Amino acid sequence: MVIKCCCIYCYARPSHGYLNLSAGLDFETKLFAKVNLAEILRDELAKKNYTCKPINIGSNTDPYQPIEKQWRLTRAALALLNECNHPCTIVTKNALIERDLDILAPMAERNLVQVFISINSLDNKLASKLEPRASAPHRRLQAVKTLHDAGVPVGVLVAPIIPALNEKDVEGIIERAAANGANSIGYTCIRLPHELKQLFREWLEIHYPDRAAHIISLIQQMNGGKDYDSNFATRMRGQGIFADIIRKRVQVASRKAGLHRAWDTVLDTSRFVAPRIHSPQGELF
């Protein structure tokens, strides 16, 4: 059975509902590979009305899932972006990204890529429960250093921050991120849309029954008394006193470490050259 990195807090879990599958076990065990990804991407980039803007890879699920070792679809997409000088950002919590340094380093030389490594805890035991099959925190920090040493700009996302569970590590993560060569910091707080709210409750009762009610209470305080607030302006960071405290802690620690905000990254779109569409007839000229 093929199993993905299945973080219990993953806001992508409910997306399996579009396929009439569950956000629980089905999300963890029923994987779908878009085997023609590179071909479709090539067609899109080659359209006459296409406007080049940085593409974010990894906004829904991690592009370096264990299955990527077999299918190499992320690598194929990166190779195409590199070919036509198209900028991208990458979000991952897996050290498998080091495999693609031969593509990422040349892209970095042309200001075409920014990598973000997600690290939300320094506790390996907690991470193994929260993020099964993802790289351990110390291994992700090593990946930050490896990318930095190869000339690839890399930031760290402290995400998601879960009150009374992993938020104690916020300052430590930021400090170690800077020590390993990160250039920026971003963060989000946990959000529990749709089926995720019940899955997370069940997970808390299994692993941290003594803290479950307190953690849920703090999450609700950060979301206007609800498990989840869909308001785009507040859903990533929360609101209220506890959310303000986290924001200030991140700001102070980032300033002390000399790291700028992750969202201030600017990549070069001026180099883009539309890719050629492969034709079965070949090229005449």
**pLDDT tens figures, 118-137:** 999 999 999 999 999 899 99
| CA torsion through residues 164, 233, 261, 107, sign | positive
Q: SS3 string of 106-152? A: HHHHCCCEEEEEECCCCCHHHHHHHCCCCCCHHHHHHHHHHHHHCCC
Question: Residue 139: which of 158, 119, 159, 157 has the closest Cα?
Answer: 119
Cβ atoms 190, 162 nearer than 8 A: yes
- This prediction has a pTM of 0.92
Q: Residue holding tokens 């760290």?
A: 156
233 or 23: which leads in pLDDT: 233
Q: For residue range 168-222, what is the model confidence (pLDDT) as tens digits? A: 999 999 999 999 999 999 999 999 998 899 999 999 999 999 999 999 999 999 9
Q: Which two tokens stand for residue 172?
A: 């430590």
User: CA 265, CA 256: separation in Å to the nearest integer?
Assistant: 19
Nearest in space to 254 (alpha carbons), one of 187, 189, 190: 187
Coil/strand/helix, residue 80:
helix
Residue 1: per-residue pLDDT: 44
Q: What sign results for the dihedral spanned by CA atoms 33, 35, 38, 41?
A: negative
224: phi > 0 → left, psi -120 to 50 → alpha, else beta; which? left
Q: Can you tell me the distance from the alpha carbon of 86 to that of 146, in angstroms, rounded to the nearest whole number? A: 23
